[in-house]
Amino acid sequence: MTSLLEQAEQVLEKAQSGINPRWYPRYHLAPRAGWMNDPNGLVWFDGWYHAFYQHHPYSPKWGPMHWGHARSKDLVHWEHLPVALAPEGPADKDGCFSGSAVVDGDTLALIYTGHKFHGPSDTDDNLYQVQCLATSRDGIHFERHGKVIDTPPGLHHFRDPKVWREGEFWYMVVGSRVENTGQVRLYRSTDLREWHDEGIFAEADEGKGFMWECPDFFPLGEKRVLMFSPQGMAAEGYHYRNLFQSGYLLGDWQPGQPFTHSGQFTELDHGHDFYAPQSFLTPDGRRIVIGWLDMWESSMPEQQDGWAGMLSLPRELSLVDGRVRMKPAAEVTALRGSYYPTPVRCLNNQNVLVAANADAVEVQLAWDLSASTAEQFGIALGDGLRIYVDDQAGRLVVERRYPEYSLEGTRSIPLPADSVLSLRIFIDRSSVEVFVNDGDACLSSRIYPQPGERDISLFANLGKASLYDAGYWSLDK
């Protein structure tokens, strides 16, 4: 009898040759074929970075979750490995949902949510989510150990465990939902198998989320960060514009003590598409985050091409003046090929071509805001994407216009107080990631240019715009 893992591999091997590459990323991690969502189990083990992810190998639509798997020596060049987990047991018969990975001596341990229905799947009353364990010595083939934490009484949504070691104990945070209130629960263990319930770690105020997904908890600087993805936050002006958000609470914690925090939820990324980020430590101690570069219930045109979903670039976190900053990991510069400086330094009511037919580039711009008077000025990719300063609103705007796919609209952030606006803009075949002023803000969105719509240009409307510096690198995988 062929196992579900073997079946998944056979399907993927056949399907990947039929992928239409027009929007398939050149330098981001995406599935060989089929569906991808949340990153899972990000970890350094036995000389490799490992990235697992939520995966449906049988179609480019969400389905019974497997764990896809890839590894890298440098965080930017990824090698696909066999599917690591399939819904094969009684504890996860309807899906291997999100989770994390830790190194326990010479063993790589995956801790994930087993998703199952006891009866028809059309009601949450029959839904049960439990936390499961699988281990590996080689980092590729996993032995399943089944359920290690059962569903707490009265709960149904109870998922996405993140595990870390502190002192003599392992700790785990798990997202949960009690009626219409999102929570994070805490557990403690000595062996990853027997867990003690430490109670509610944090929970939402009214209107701040009916479910807190994908929690992560880690030290950063002198503080502790609780990072999570709340579902059910209403938009407030320019904030919380996406269906679901990703962000953090900043506070203090010691084992055995409550988590005390400011209560101020801060978004991590201000673009259209960023969800379920997970963090891990590099061997040299940097805190790196990777997220899902998509958004639930948003159009995903690549589904017609046999695949769906991709992960963000790796991003290094730091704590500066009480705020989490996020910038591309240093390893990303290894992608750089040739550099092409842009000769123009001042635009006056004009549009200047910078690069023709660009599908994998890093653009670097430094605008002189004090010397710029145009109502709008910035950079465009064809007719579908503009990243520009709106001088009247005092905001940096990412605007995408792909009406044929029902993907239109803007996301924006306030302009910095100083006179220099420095941008690192990473454009791939179907994504853009904009990093502002060395990590002060980030905006990430999916894009879907048609053939002939990949020319990059700079523009200034109704006035002039001045640049200190401008150019781009071709990015080679």
Residues labelled catalytic: 38
- Rounded to the nearest angstrom, the gap between the alpha carbon of residue 459 and the centroid of all alpha carbons in its chain is 30
Whole-number Å distance between alpha carbons of 156 and 329: 37
CB-based burial, 244-261: b 16+ in 10 Å, e otherwise:
bbbbbbbbebeeeeebeb
Whole-number Å distance between alpha carbons of 31 and 285: 28
Nearest CA-CA partner of 333 in 473, 437, 431, 441:
473
Q: DSSP letters of 4-68?
A: HHHHHHHHHHHHGGG--TTSS-SSS---SSEEEEEEEEEEEETTEEEEEEEEETTSSS--S-EEE
* Cβ atoms of residues 151 and 129 within 8 Å: yes
Q: At a CB cut-off of 8 Å and minimum separation 6, what does 126 contact?
A: 117, 118, 119, 120
3-state helix, strand, coil in the chain (%, to 5): 5, 55, 35
Inter-residue long-range contacts of 233-240, CB under 8 Å, 24+ positions, other chains counted: 233/207, 233/208, 233/209, 233/265, 234/207, 238/395, 238/412, 238/413, 239/267, 240/267
Burial class (CB in 10 A: 0-12, 13-18, 19+), 212: buried
Matching residue, tokens 């050149």: 26
Beta-carbon neighbour count of residue 193 at 10 Å? 12
Nearest CA-CA partner of 311 in 72, 472, 113, 138:
72
Whole-number Å distance between alpha carbons of 407 and 273: 11
Q: CA neighbours within 13 Å on the CB side: how many for 407?
A: 25
